[in-house]
């Protein structure tokens, strides 16, 4: 089932998310719905708060980027991260033009470190400690930020943020054309 994606301005995007117990009900269904939602919106990553669930869970699927970035290895980068913990971020920071399904039509260069090590559980609750680099690391860093209540625009300079202010207000009011189902915090529902 495709879920509405929560738009910028919703308080759920600003919460520190809760850990998930292995006994959490309907977790598999939530993950399946998140995949359907992300694929339907042509996203490469989606975090639980973006579908209104304040849980430490995100999914990634970089295959849409494989052709664009001319990197066939991205096709296989499809994973579920449950209760992840970032262990390290290293290397010389690099810029990449990021976007976010919760902030449509906004893309900005964000500077992040290229090498990470992360501990997480997969959807069967097997624990992994893995290293990632370059684009996979980048996608994980963006999604990991989401479960900590951080958005990619938080990494921009005060000037860039000021220039985006009106656009962000428009997004939270639903004054935007978007090709997927969204939930806008400032549209009053009766
Ligand atoms: Ni995002």
Domain of residue 139, CATH code? 3.90.45.10
pLDDT tens, position by position, 21-69: 999 999 999 999 999 999 999 999 999 999 999 999 999 999 988 888 8
pLDDT tens, position by position, 71-112: 888 888 999 999 999 999 999 999 999 999 999 999 999 999
What DSSP string runs through 61-81?
E-HHHHHHTT-GGGGG-EEEE
The residues, ordered by sequence, that sit 6+ positions from 162 with a Cβ below 8 Å of its Cβ are none
pLDDT at 188: 66
The larger pLDDT score, comparing residue 186 to residue 59, is at: 59
The residues, ordered by sequence, that sit 6+ positions from 24 with a Cβ below 8 Å of its Cβ are 55
The domain containing residue 152 runs over which residues? 5-183
Ligand 1 geometric centre to CA of 107 (Å): 11
Asked if 36 is an active-site residue, the reply is no
pLDDT tens, position by position, 161-181: 999 999 999 999 999 999 999
| pLDDT > 90? residue 186 | no
Asked, for residue 57, whether it belongs to a domain, the answer is yes
Catalytically annotated residue among 18, 36, 85, 143: 143
Say how far apart CA 180 and CA 17 lie, in whole Å: 24
Say how far apart CA 184 and CA 173 lie, in whole Å: 6
Say how far apart CA 132 and CA 140 lie, in whole Å: 9
pLDDT at 55: 98
Ligand 1 geometric centre to CA of 98 (Å): 9
Domain count, the chain: 1
Say how far apart CA 170 and CA 92 lie, in whole Å: 35
pLDDT at 66: 87
The larger pLDDT score, comparing residue 10 to residue 189, is at: 10
Ligand 1 geometric centre to CA of 102 (Å): 6
User: Which tokens belong to 169?
Assistant: 């207000």
Asked, for residue 158, whether it belongs to a domain, the answer is yes
Asked, for residue 189, whether it belongs to a domain, the answer is no
Asked, for residue 108, whether it belongs to a domain, the answer is yes
pLDDT at 118: 98
| pLDDT > 80? residue 189 | no
Phi, psi of 76 (to 5 degrees): -90, 0
pLDDT tens, position by position, 138-169: 999 999 999 999 999 999 999 999 999 999 99
């Amino acid at each position: 089932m495709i879920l509405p994606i929560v738009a910028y301005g919703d308080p759920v995007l600003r919460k520190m998310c809760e850990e998930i117990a292995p006994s959490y009900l309907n977790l598999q269904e939530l993950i399946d719905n998140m995949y359907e939602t992300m694929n339907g919106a042509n996203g490469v990553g989606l975090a639980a708060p973006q579908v209104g669930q304040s849980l430490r869970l995100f999914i990634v699927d970089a295959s849409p980027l494989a052709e664009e970035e001319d990197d066939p290895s991205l096709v296989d980068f499809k994973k579920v991260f449950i209760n992840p913990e970032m262990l390290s971020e290293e290397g010389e920071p690099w810029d990449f033009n990021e976007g976010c399904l919760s902030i449509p039509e906004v893309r900005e260069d964000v500077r992040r470190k290229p090498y990470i090590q992360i501990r997480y559980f997969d959807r069967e609750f097997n624990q992994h400690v893995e290293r990632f680099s370059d684009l996979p690391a980048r996608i994980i860093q963006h999604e990991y930020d989401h479960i900590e209540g951080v958005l990619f625009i938080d990494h921009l300079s005060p000037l860039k943020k000021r220039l985006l202010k009106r656009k962000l207000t428009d997004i939270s009011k639903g004054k935007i054309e978007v090709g997927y189902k969204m939930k806008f915090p400032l549209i009053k529902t009766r």
